[in-house]
Structure formats: structure tokens, C-alpha cells
A = this chain, B = another copy of it.
Amino acid sequence: MDRINIHIRDLITSYQELNPSTIPELSDPPSALEFMRYAATNRPFILRNGAADFPAVQKWNAAYLREVMNDAPVNVAISAAGDADSVLERPDGELWFIKPCEVSAPFGAVLDAIQLQEQDAGHTGPVLYAQTQNDNLRNEYAPLYADIPPTIPFARIALQRPPDAINFWLGSARSRTALHRDPYENIYVQVLGTKTFTLLPPTEAPCVNEQRLRAGTYVPAAETQAEHEAEGPPAAVYPTLDSPPASIPFPTWDPDNPAVRPSPYSHLAWPIRLMLRPGDMLYLPALWYHAVAQGNGNEGISCSVNYWYDMDYSGAFYSLSGFARGVGLASMGREEDGGFIDAPAT
């Protein structure tokens, strides 16, 4: 197995030697051909103020969102500490993959609750994050859809497809999205507040210490599902194991907390960090690992929109990325199949 370890190390370091350790910042939108060069090499870029002319960036604020959405019901994810879709270490040391309690509530009440959790420095209740990634901006948030372009021209022309999903995100600094990856070309637009991304390229799959975890879900405390759906967000949630039992392979190493649960390769990772401010656009290529923290704007909220375009499974990149993941796991004695395991959160 020693030889395999050396090849894994060489994969990680050769990529680092052949690629910049920073993300380019473009001042003008790329042409479709220029964008294709980034997609071809699976390399991110930031387009500072690239969405400055979106009506969303010009018009959205708490009052506007409240006025347009009014009391339309929306799905909101509720976690104990802003840790939906992430690794939860239990008192006995076992790691669970924990999913949020999802409830439907009037948009106005969700926005109020998110703002309140920020205004109260001593807030200890559950944390709300409107983060369904199911094309929600063309569905439950449809009243806001007119404020963004229906596609990103350079991506549509280069990739020859419409977005598979356009998502609306409303949260606060209390929520953080755990390190994971998606099989999508992602165009991410910041509207209110900030987002700070920590990125790892697909070649660093052996660094993330993926482990198969038992799946759990936050459920309302001392309430039935029927009661809390009727009454809006529950006052408290606690983690329970899913029934029937389920498990999911998920990264257990976090480059922003690197001493905890490293794999034998984690020390080789070169995390890349970047911050998006209102109007900024990020191209996050398919299969890049990303953890996302939020910063509140002056209204106590962080709001984003993203466009997911299906990745191209043809060519060698997808197969080779799955191979790197699988060989990395095998070198650590883990019996996962190769290929890519879909993770539930962006």
C-alpha cells in the first residue's frame, strides 16, 4: 500500500505545482469561449461586481423581500446551531450526518426569526436558514424571480444548457454550510451580506477524510410534527437517528478546523479562501469541495442566488475524480465504491 500512498501524495502536490494558489478576479464578464477555458480546466474565478446590474442586487433588502413575498409559505431548515447537513459529534464520540428539521412557514415569519436570532447576542434557540436547493427561485420564491436574469449568458452559451436549478438562500452568520461538493457547474451571486468560501480542488479528495456516517435529523422538541407545522418554527430541536436507519459518506475533516479528524493526507491540502460581497459573482466548478460561512449585512441577513448547470460527465474528468476519491478511501482501508456520492447541501 506504500506505493499507493506515494501516488496519492504526488497527485495532490502535482496539482498544486501546476495551478495557481489563488483565484483570478475578472473585471469584465468572460466570453463564452473564455468561460469554457475555465470550465475545461475546472478552475474557479470571481467576477467582482459581476451581478451589480441585477435588479436583485439593486433592489433587495429586508423590506422589499417582505413586501414581495408577503406571507407566502416557504420551506426553512432548522438546526440546533446553524449546523444543518453537517457532521455532528455525539457525546459518546460517534459522528452523525445531521439533517435539518424542515418546516413550512410564512416568509415574513421566517425573515423575522432570522433577523431576531442576529439581534439577540444571547440567542440560544434553533437557527433558521432558508436553503432548499430545489430550484426554489422558480417555485416557492417565484415572486422574486423577475429580479434576476433567467440564465447567465456566458455559461448558457458555453455549456449549451439552461440552468438545472436556480436557488434562493436566506440566512445569517449563525449558519455555516459544511464542506461538501456537488456535481454541478455553479454560478454563485451574492446579494446581501457576505459569503466566505473555503475551497479544495477535486484532487484533494483524499484530504477530506470522508467517512460513512449514520444519518440523523433534527426534530422539534416536545412537539409533534403536525403541531410544529401548524405553528411555525419550533422553539427547540434535538437530533435523532433516522428510521429506517440510513448512512451517508461525508467529509469529516474541515480545513477551517484542521486539527480535528485529519486524514493521513489532510496536511497536504492547500485550502483557498475567498469572500463575496453584494454584487460579486463566483464560478465554482463542479466537484470542488466548499464550506461556506456567512456575514450579515446591515439588516442581519445574508442572501444569495445561485445557478446550477449540470456538469459534463463525458470526457475523463468525472471518472478520474471518482477514481481519486475511491483510491484515497481504499488507501485508508475504507470500502466505499469509487465515483461521486451526492451530498445534500451546497
**Interface status of A4 (Cβ within 8 A of chain B):** yes
Residues of chain B within 8 A of A338, CB atoms compared = 6-7, 10-11, 14
Query: Is A299 located at the chain interface by the 8 A CB criterion?
Result: no
The 8 Å CB contact of A15, one of B8, B37, B316, is B316
The answer, yes or no, to whether A315 is at the interface (CB within 8 Å) is yes
Interface residues of A in 312-328 (CB under 8 A from B): 312-324, 326-327
Q: Choose from B8, B36, B318 the contact partner of A18 (Cβ within 8 Å).
A: B318
With contacts A14-B339, A36-B36, A330-B3 taken as known, whether A317 is within 8 angstroms of B319 at the C-beta atoms is no
- The reply on A337 being an interface residue by CB < 8 A is yes
Q: Is A233 an interface residue (CB 8 A)?
A: no
Judge if A201 is at the interface, Cβ distance under 8 Å.
Answer: yes
Residues of A within 8 A of B (CB): 1, 3-4, 6-8, 10-11, 14-15, 18-19, 32-33, 36-37, 39-43, 157-158, 160, 201-203, 312-324, 326-327, 330, 335, 337-339
Contact call A39/B42, Cβ cutoff below 8 A: no
Contact among B19, B32, B320 with A320 in the assembled complex (CB-CB below 8 Å): B320
Q: Are B201 and A339 in contact (CB under 8 A)?
A: no
Q: Please state if B316 and A42 are interface contacts (CB–CB under 8 Å).
A: yes
Given known contacts A337-B10, A338-B7, A338-B10, is B321 in contact with A320 (CB within 8 Å)? yes
Q: Which residue of B lies closest to A318 (CB)?
A: B18
Cβ–Cβ contact A330 & B7, under 8 A: yes
Which of B8, B203, B323 contacts A10, CB < 8 Å?
A: B323
Which residues in B have their C-beta under 8 angstroms from that of A335? 3
Q: Which 4 A-B pairs have the closest CB atoms?
A: A41-B315, A40-B40, A320-B320, A3-B330
Apart from A11-B322, A32-B33, what are 9 other A-B pairs with CB-CB below 8 Å? A4-B327, A14-B339, A15-B316, A18-B313, A40-B315, A316-B321, A320-B324, A323-B323, A323-B324
